[in-house]
């Protein structure tokens, strides 16, 4: 069916944003999109947003998705918040360790101070992150944290001459 035949007829337009559907009268169209008339209001819908455009059938209804969070997403969200707060607290501890390492830099020497300033945070955040990740059931994050622990330990081993 040609687009000209749909002018002044009731159509349904399916948009590509979250499966939204709009019902209204096709007022006009152009190379840029269509104008959908709904009561006294007119809406311009660009072609790039339209998935499907057809005459309405019995049983068609407008659909506007409601953004609702289910319980599983809430639990995941609060777990993420716990993880972020925990890592923030650990970062504060790490900052203290870095500060303490630089105070003792005259005893250790510059390369060892840098290694302890970098390796210490890697190991502490890695251990804590692994623990929290396993509690949250995020095994991929836990694997990443184990890799971070390995990098921190490797820095200590190389710079402190234990290798």
Q: Each residue of 6-19: b (16+ CB within 10 Å) or e?
A: beeeebbbebeeee
Provide, rounded to the nearest whole percent, the portion of the chain with pLDDT above 70. 60
pLDDT at 112: 66
pLDDT at 35: 92
In order of 2, 14, 27, 49, the CA distances from 36 in angstroms are 17, 12, 6, 13
Q: Boundaries of CATH 2.30.30.100 in the chain? A: 3-55
The residue with greater pLDDT, 2 or 54, is 54
CB of 133 within 8 A of CB of 160?
no
Q: How far is 37 from 8, CA to CA, in rounded Å?
A: 9
| pLDDT tens by residue, 1-28 | 678 888 888 888 888 766 788 888 889 9
Is the pTM value of this prediction over 0.75? Answer: no
Q: For domain 3-55, say whether CATH 2.30.30.100 is its number.
A: yes
| pLDDT tens by residue, 68-114 | 655 555 566 666 667 666 766 676 566 666 666 666 655 666 666 66
């Amino acid at each position: 069916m040609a687009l000209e035949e749909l002018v002044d007829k009731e159509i349904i337009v399916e948009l590509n944003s979250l499966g939204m559907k709009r019902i209204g009268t096709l007022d006009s169209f152009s190379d840029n999109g269509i104008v959908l008339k709904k009561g006294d209001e007119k809406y311009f819908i660009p072609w790039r947003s339209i998935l499907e455009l057809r005459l309405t059938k019995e049983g068609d209804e407008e659909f506007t998705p409601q953004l609702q969070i289910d319980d599983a997403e809430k639990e995941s969200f609060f777990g993420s918040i716990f993880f972020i707060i925990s890592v923030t607290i650990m970062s504060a501890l790490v900052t203290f360790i870095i500060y303490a390492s630089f105070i003792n830099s005259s005893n250790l020497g510059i390369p060892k101070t840098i290694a302890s300033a970098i390796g210490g945070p890697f190991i502490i955040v890695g251990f804590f992150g692994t623990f929290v990740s396993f509690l949250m059931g995020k095994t991929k994050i836990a694997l990443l944290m184990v890799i971070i622990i390995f990098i921190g330990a490797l820095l200590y081993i190389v710079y402190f001459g234990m290798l």
